[in-house]
Amino acid sequence: MPELPDITVYVEALEARILGRVLQAARIQNLFVLRTAVPPIGALEGRRATGLRRIGKRIALGFEGELWLVIHLMIAGRLHWADPGGKAAAQSALAHFEFESGRLTLTEAGSKRRASIHLLEGEAALRAADPGGLEVMDCPPERFGEALTRENHTVKRALTDPRLFSGIGNAYSDEILHAARLSPVAMTRRLGPAELARLLDATRRVLALWTQRLRAEAAGTFPEKVTAFRPEMAVHGRYGQPCPVCGTAVQRIRYAENEVNYCPRCQTGGKLLADRSLSRLLHTDWPKTIDELERNAARS
């Protein structure tokens, strides 16, 4: 799922292409993607784009008359841009928005339709669409600590809760926790002041670093390689590969459609976190530490 760095770069690319431009046509290819009926999507046609905002992991495009087109990409949704006369993305297209300056297309890979479009009227409706998470890049440290410890959850769950923190998801939370040298299953109310400060610093460093990297990668073009899996990442999507800090094989916990990636030496003091499916299968044969796992691997 595109997160704060990806959405920020999308917004910057769109600002350069549609701000002040008239939307000539809005065409919905898949009716399921449009989750609102009033105002009708056709109400956007002939209106000029007046602003863009990131709202958590959503992109809000503002138009004359206080209309807001809010796009939530979810896991597999992506945006594409074609200059006038260029070939627009057609495969898996859910919607096309024709501007004077080019065509914006929303696509979604796979068969599950999770991406969504809402057309809202007025600031109040836009505020209601905001889950309310804290903007971590400029919040006071005490507010960060208050949000994190509001409930006693694992730090991984807290970081990815959009009601607590804005724009952080599965991928960058893995990277943040590795940079902070914290276990993903550490309970938030057990974190001390030093750990909270370390976590806030890591959060800001990781999000700023990846925003800069993605901005440099786009280099003024429209971002077309938005993905949660990148070779430069420390642990996310790198199960079995060496940690860039200590060389230990990255481990994971799988659940539902997500997985947590972590380094057992940098983050958990050498302890292996139990993967539910594997630990149920192996029972007492499940190794408890990375040293035990490496010894078993050496014997086999």
pLDDT of residue 244: 97
Asked if residue 98 and residue 13 are part of one domain, the reply reads yes
Which CATH number belongs to the domain containing residue 159 in this structure?
Answer: 1.10.8.50
Asked if residue 177 and residue 65 are part of one domain, the reply reads no
Alpha helices in the chain (DSSP H): 4-18, 123-128, 141-148, 155-159, 170-180, 193-218, 264-267, 276-282, 290-299
Q: Which of 100, 128, 156 is the last residue of a domain?
A: 128
Asked if residue 191 and residue 290 are part of one domain, the reply reads no
The answer to whether residue 113 is domain-embedded is yes
Q: Which two tokens stand for residue 199?
A: 């976590």
The answer to whether residue 225 is domain-embedded is no
The answer to whether residue 231 is domain-embedded is no
Which H or E run includes 55?
Answer: strand 49-55
The answer to whether residue 245 is domain-embedded is no
Asked if residue 48 and residue 106 are part of one domain, the reply reads yes
Asked if residue 116 and residue 206 are part of one domain, the reply reads no
Q: Which of 75, 94, 128 is the last residue of a domain?
A: 128
Asked if residue 173 and residue 73 are part of one domain, the reply reads no
The model's pLDDT over 7-17, given as tens digits with 9 standing for 90+, comes to 999 999 999 99
Cβ atoms < 10 Å from Cβ of 294: 13
Asked if residue 287 and residue 183 are part of one domain, the reply reads no
The answer to whether residue 112 is domain-embedded is yes
Burial 15-32 (b: 16+ CB within 10 A, else e): eebbeeebbeebebeeee
The model's pLDDT over 77-131, given as tens digits with 9 standing for 90+, comes to 999 999 998 887 777 899 999 999 999 999 999 888 899 999 999 999 999 999 9
Dihedral pair phi/psi, residue 203, rounded to 5°: -60, -50
Which CATH number belongs to the domain containing residue 92 in this structure?
Answer: 3.20.190.10
Asked if residue 101 and residue 26 are part of one domain, the reply reads yes
Q: Which two tokens stand for residue 84?
A: 């006038």
Asked if residue 24 and residue 120 are part of one domain, the reply reads yes
Please give the tally of structural domains in the chain. Answer: 3
Higher-pLDDT residue of 57 and 287 is 57
Asked if residue 195 and residue 146 are part of one domain, the reply reads yes
| Orientation angle between helical segments 141-148 and 193-218, nearest 10 degrees | 100
Asked if residue 155 and residue 107 are part of one domain, the reply reads no
The model's pLDDT over 155-178, given as tens digits with 9 standing for 90+, comes to 999 999 999 999 999 999 999 999
Residue 299 has pLDDT above 90, yes or no: no
Q: Which of 128, 162, 179 is the last residue of a domain?
A: 128
pTM: 0.91
Three-state DSSP at 132 gives coil
Dihedral pair phi/psi, residue 48, rounded to 5°: -90, 140
The answer to whether residue 274 is domain-embedded is yes
Asked if residue 119 and residue 8 are part of one domain, the reply reads yes
Please say whether the beta carbons of 69 and 42 come within 8 A: no
pLDDT of residue 122: 97
Owning domain of residue 187: 141-218
